[in-house]
Amino acid sequence: MEFKDAVWTREPADFRILPDGIEITTAPHTDLWQRTYYHFRNDNAPVLQIETEETYFSFTVKTDYTQSRHRFDQCGIVLYLDSDNWLKGSVEFEDGNYQHLGSVVTNHGYSDWSTTEIPADVKVMWYRLSRREDDYRIECSRDGQRFEQMRVCHLWEGAGKIRFGIYACSPEDSSFTAVFSDLKITECVWEAHDGQQPD
């Protein structure tokens, strides 16, 4: 399983393959969101993914979003099954003072959003997505070495064959170029739980 085998779930109008990664230039009014709180649905962000039935693995990518400068501009990792079932992790630009580092999990057509504020001058972030059957962990890192857990989640439709990869979008009237590099798929680094035993 190698990321060079990835295919577009939705191909952007403007992208460039690099020797060690890919650039995606977003189109305005692109996003991934379903219903919750905002009551709207947007399902048109470009997504580049690899398909697998492997139940234990980790996927790491470095994102550079230096060009993002408009509210909600974002790029990061994604696991997109269909419009109603997916997860993503990213930094969303907010204003000149702060950004939202967060993740969205969408099960059966309803999205949630878990975030924390980070300074606006952070322009590079690594993400690591790990799978243990139909449970998933999203981590982030500012240096590519020390990763911090963002969330552990369950995808109700996330067993068996899945697709995962990268995405970028601009929900409002803006556009920016996101740079993805250091894309790696490895053995699962998310170790089995060693605490309370299952019921």
Report yes or no: 58 and 107 within 8 Å, Cβ to Cβ: no
| Structural domain harbouring 77 | 3-186
Tokens of 128: 């690591």
Report which of 127, 137, 134, 114 is spatially closest to residue 77, judged by C-alpha positions.
127
DSSP bridge partners of 88: 78, 104
User: pLDDT at residue 198 above 80?
Assistant: no
In a domain, 198, yes or no: no
In a domain, 146, yes or no: yes
* Alpha-carbon span 54 to 79, nearest angstrom: 14
Chain CA centroid to CA 77, Å: 2
Instruction: For residue 70, name the pLDDT band (cuts at 50, 70, 90).
Output: very high
Say which CATH number the domain at 10 has. Answer: 2.60.120.200
Report which of 137, 190, 168 is spatially closest to residue 68, judged by C-alpha positions.
168
Instruction: For residue 199, name the pLDDT band (cuts at 50, 70, 90).
Output: low
Q: What's the structural domain count of the chain?
A: 1
Q: What does pTM read for this prediction?
A: 0.95
Task: Tell me the per-residue pLDDT of 22-56, one tens digit each, with 9 for 90 and over.
Answer: 999 999 999 999 999 888 899 999 999 999 999 99
Greater confidence (37 vs 182) lies with 182
